[in-house]
Amino acid sequence: SQTIHQWPATLVQPVGSPLSLECTVEGTSNPNLYWYRQAAGRGLQLLFYSVGIGQISSEVPQNLSASRPQDRQFILSSKKLLLSDSGFYLCAWRAFYTGELFFGEGSRLTVL
Amino acid sequence: SQQGEEDPQALSIQEGENATMNCSYKTSINNLQWYRQNSGRGLVHLILIRSNEREKHSGRLRVTLDTSKKSSSLLITASRAADTASYFCATDGGGNNRLAFGKGNQVVVIP
């Protein structure tokens, strides 16, 4: 069966510091992968999605970037965090035939 | 623009009652999906309804879709305390690999 792992679960970082959130999927190959951000009490904002290694589509211009160095690995990064980057970050993969998303447990980022 | 948009309600009901929440969207869709999120956790897929379907059931869940009104509803029957969560609708426009999520409906079931 497929599983998705996301880490770290919680992160507190100072403004201006770098960020790296990692997501890996097991049990499926060539998945579509997604990074969403959820602000407190808000819906989900799609940040990036990837249909294959090295293929990244950005939905929202910002100081975040994403990379997909391996088929089942998706990384969210920033060189210099802003206060507004605080939020709950969710990685997900999409089932090809049914179209549903399977989410990781999320990474809560607080930028101070 | 975000397509799925729930009525931004915080619903508080007694255990055993039914909970209904609505979702409206703006453009044509291939399917509409409902997800559940427990506090501080990832989202879990509940049910998917295709654009050519009008109603779908899964256990205590009933979803309706009215494409003429661009709206959907999720009904949870005989609610339980464990149903306390936020519920999101998401629309799939097809062909662009993206799901657009609404802001979510918070449901509290009081035991």
Q: Over its length of 112 residues, how does chain A's per-residue pLDDT go in tens digits?
A: 889 999 999 999 999 999 999 999 999 888 999 999 998 777 899 999 999 999 999 888 679 999 999 999 999 999 999 999 999 999 999 988 888 999 999 999 999 9
DSSP string, chain A: --EEEEE-SEEEE-TT--EEEEEEEES-SS-EEEEEEE-TT--EEEEEEEEETTEEEESS-SSEEEEEEETTEEEEEESS--GGG-EEEEEEEE-TTT--EEE---EEEEE-
Position B96 scores a pLDDT of 63
- With contacts defined as CB-CB under 8 Å, which chain A residues touch B98? 46, 49, 59
A43 interface with B at CB cutoff 8 Å: yes
Strands A55-58 and A64-70: unpaired
In this complex, which of A6, A46, A99 lies closest to B92 when CB atoms are compared? A99
Question: pLDDT tens across B16-37, in order?
Answer: 999 999 999 988 899 999 999 9
In this complex, which of B2, B48, B98 lies closest to A49 when CB atoms are compared? B98
Residues in chain B: 111
Question: pLDDT tens across B34-63, in order?
Answer: 999 999 999 999 999 999 999 999 999 999
